[in-house]
Structure 1
Amino acid sequence: MTLIILKMLLKEILMKVFDLHCDTLYKVVTLSHDFSCSDFDVQTDVDFDKYLQCFAVWVPDDLSVKQGRSLFDKAKSTLIQECKKYDIKLINSLKEIKKSNCKKLGMFTLENCKIIDNDISYIKYLAESNIKIATLTWNDKNCIGDGAMVQNPTGITEFGKRAVCEIENQGIVIDVSHASDKLFYDVCEIAAKPFIATHSNSRSVTAHRRNLTDEQAKIIFENGGIVGLNFHNAFLNNEPEKASIDDIVKHAEHFLSLGGENSLCLGGDFDGGNLPRDIENNRNLYDIYNIFLQKNYSKAIIDKIFYENAVNFFENFDIC
């Protein structure tokens, strides 16, 4: 065991984490829980040097627009309440990320733009509500385009073309996780700024349509975007019940082989999927970190994946 691994295990070296996606907020809102009853351990200030968590409000496809907007507004107020309760600083400006001395930071994001509902003015409301990332679809079709599970997708809608431009104009980052392949390539043609995949793995490693093809990953990397490694077992292993931390490393290794050293991040999907058998909650991030070390990855590269790549992306996006 190397000295650095020992120090990590003893928590003599505290790591920094930037997680691009979790569904904890949806769980709290719909089950009347709080952050303490989730995969996201709120006592992160004890075990981490710095922890920034993106909290997505997931809008299920089967909700009406009215129901979805109501859910969004409730999630917005709940997030403010929970962050205040657990001393988590909500990011108002992307410039705050590096400058903030707070150990726990939160970012408000939207998963499924169906609530825009062909109303371009609603995008400004999302920005005013502090949304920093917008996942264009969930698995079905919406006013923007087709989700990943749509059969015979037709791609982006006419309104979707306008919406993508306005989302960027409002300073919101576009997320193509859950997008169909057709929608992905349509976004490539329209987006003026780098876009991201907050919680998607490699389709070459695990053959799931929610994962990215090599070509898609390369496009994101080469255009300055980032990709978050997803811990949901079905996206990690073709036999989900066998998924483990080793599979996370396999996906990372493949993305790194495609040129993702400065683009690969974490997008754990805590509270949004079935975790591998050796992950219980976000405290197991130390176990993942140490597996990377044991496989002879340098601390510099691991720190990029766990924190620095995401921070650098948002710092640069703010000045695009």
Structure 2
Amino acid sequence: MKIFDLHADLAEAIKPFYTDGKTSILKKDWSTRFKQGQIAYTSAASFFVGTESWQEMQDVVMKVKNDITVSGYKVIYTKDDLDDEQQGTAFLMTIEGMCGIHEDVEEKIQWLYDEGNRIGSLCWNDQNALATGNSGDPTRGLTELGKQAIAKMNELHMIVDVSHANEKTFWDILSCSTQPVIATHS
């Protein structure tokens, strides 16, 4: 049996090791868990609470991607990377919250995609320049910048994750997106 875990806060779990300069954290500390759980594929969510800058977002994304590759794992870029003969665990990179994006939306979404992220949520529980999460103003949903983000994600076929969006944001995304969306967790 092959299991695909669509939501693992791995970036949050390995973040404390970043400051110590450690690498291959996934291989050293997680490979046994992946084997025991028969996890063939998992997401590697770069999680942001709502206070991080764009630079901080980039830093986390790069550290997650680096740890995946130096640990000897594969990043999933396309459906062709979902191999029936897959040995070990492969990672689907995701973004949970885009709080650091306040401008240059299309360029920044493109950068996230180019770095391997294939699923992204515009907000966590926060209210940011793109959208409103569960803890934000219930009458505020997707912003104009958020609509630009959705359009760029649709163009790239980067899946929009509606997890943590408030109800207004959820419905705004559904009315705006031209591609299917996903709720990886709730």
Q: Shared topology, TM-score over 0.5? A: yes
- Of the three residues 76, 97, 100, the one matched with 1:112 is 97
Tell me if 1:124 matches 2:113.
no
Quote the residue 1:168 is aligned against. 154
SS at match of 2:99: helix
Matches within 5 A, 1:22-61: 22-32=8-18, 34-35=25-26, 41-43=30-32, 44-45=34-35, 48=38, 51-61=40-50
TM-score computed with the length of structure 1 as normaliser: 0.51
- Of the three residues 68, 71, 83, the one matched with 1:79 is 68
Deviation of 1:98 (Å): 3.9
Report if aligned partners of 1:57, 1:72 keep a CA contact under 8 Å in 2.
yes
Deviation of 1:81 (Å): 2.1
Deviation of 1:62 (Å): 2.0
Choose between structure 1 and 2: higher helix proportion: 1
SS at match of 1:114: coil
RMSD, matched Cα: 2.1
Tell me if 1:96 matches 2:112.
no
Change (3 A) 1:94 1:137: same
In the aligned structure 2, how far is the partner of 1:46 from the partner of 1:75? 22
- Of the three residues 115, 127, 130, the one matched with 1:141 is 127
Change (3 A) 1:100 1:167: farther
Report if aligned partners of 2:126, 2:132 keep a CA contact under 8 Å in 1.
yes
Tell me if 1:184 matches 2:170.
yes
- Of the three residues 18, 36, 56, the one matched with 1:67 is 56
Deviation of 1:99 (Å): 4.8
TM-score computed with the length of structure 2 as normaliser: 0.85
2:126 alignment partner AA: D
Please list the CA deviations of residues 11-61 of structure 1 after superposition, one character each: whole Å capped at 9, or x if unmatched. Answer: xxxx220110111222213334623686xx42334663x611111011221
Please list the CA deviations of residues 77-113 of structure 1 after superposition, one character each: whole Å capped at 9, or x if unmatched. Answer: 233223x1xxx32212222214553342111111111
1:91 alignment partner AA: I
Report if aligned partners of 2:121, 2:160 keep a CA contact under 8 Å in 1.
yes
* Structure 2 residues not aligned, in runs of 5+: none
Change (3 A) 1:35 1:74: closer
Deviation of 1:181 (Å): 0.4
Quote the residue 1:194 is aligned against. 180
Please list the CA deviations of residues 213-271 of structure 1 after superposition, one character each: whole Å capped at 9, or x if unmatched. Answer: xxxxxxxxxxxxxxxxxxxxxxxxxxxxxxxxxxxxxxxxxxxxxxxxxxxxxxxxxxx
Percentage of pairs with the same residue: 26
Quote the residue 1:20 is aligned against. 6
In the aligned structure 1, how far is the partner of 2:101 from the partner of 2:52? 13
Tell me if 1:150 matches 2:141.
no
Report if aligned partners of 2:11, 2:60 keep a CA contact under 8 Å in 1.
no
Change (3 A) 1:30 1:101: same
Choose between structure 1 and 2: higher strand proportion: 2
Equivalent pairs counted in the alignment come to: 179
* Structure 1 residues not aligned, in runs of 5+: 1-14, 201-320
Higher Rg of the two aligned structures: 1
1:177 alignment partner AA: S
